[in-house]
Copies of this chain bind each other. A is one copy, B any other.
Amino acid sequence: MPPHPLATTPLHFGPFPITPQIFHLTPLSFALVNLKPLLPGHVLICPRRVVPRLSQLSTAEISDLFLTVQRVSRMIERVYAADALNVAVQDGVAAGQSVPHVHAHVIPRRNGDMEGRGGGDRVYEMLEGEEGDVGAALREVERQRKREAEGNRAFAKPDAERLPRSLEEMEEEARALAKEMEREVD
């Protein structure tokens, strides 16, 4: 695989290596596409340093993280032709955090986008429920990689219903979003 255009050293989201999913990198933060987006364009922004709580971040890290949220949000709203955005941090396990690494969800919203899926508030319910469990989805991918590495073909393709997006699909989206980030000016 050619070196990642943005990240020369491997980056992790909690314990998970996610370099190919990264579409934006700053001195202290990165933005990655989501394994199981709740809505199209649902992305995550993390500090580079792997710590679980907002309170553990330095002043510089907090500033960089949320300036990155702002810059990425503008791009996501433009590219996904959204009307608004939800920005949410589940800061700790009791708040629904599933990967022990600070991450801000950015979810583009359109008027009426959740009609037929239970109404607008359902996006939050999904975020905290099983559908938004980023940790479970990443663990499933890790298990799948391990099984494939072990050559256990019988288990290589889990139930398509439960299957998170493919690495190829995420890489493709990450490359497209990285290009779109270049168009953002402050």
Contact = CB atoms under 8 A, between A and B. Distances in A.
A55 B76 CA distance: 12
Most B C-beta atoms less than 10 A away, residue of A55, A95, A113: A95
A37 interface: no
A92 B88 contact: no
Interface in A44-102: 54-55, 57, 59, 62-63, 65-67, 69-70, 73-74, 77, 82-97
A13 B83 CA distance: 22
Given A57-B70, A70-B62, A84 B92 contact: yes
A169 interface: no
Interface stretch (A118-126, A154-162, A174-182): A118-126
Given A67-B62, A95-B109, A111-B94, A55 B82 contact: no
A127 interface: yes
Interface size class of A (residues with CB under 8 A): 35 or more
Contact of A86 (B77, B95, B122): B95
Q: Which 9 A-B pairs have the closest CB atoms?
A: A124-B124, A84-B92, A121-B128, A84-B94, A84-B95, A83-B94, A63-B63, A66-B66, A87-B89
21 contacts: A54-B73, A55-B70, A55-B73, A59-B186, A62-B63, A62-B66, A63-B63, A63-B66, A73-B91, A83-B93, A84-B92, A85-B89, A86-B89, A86-B90, A88-B88, A95-B107, A95-B120, A96-B120, A124-B124, A124-B125, A124-B127
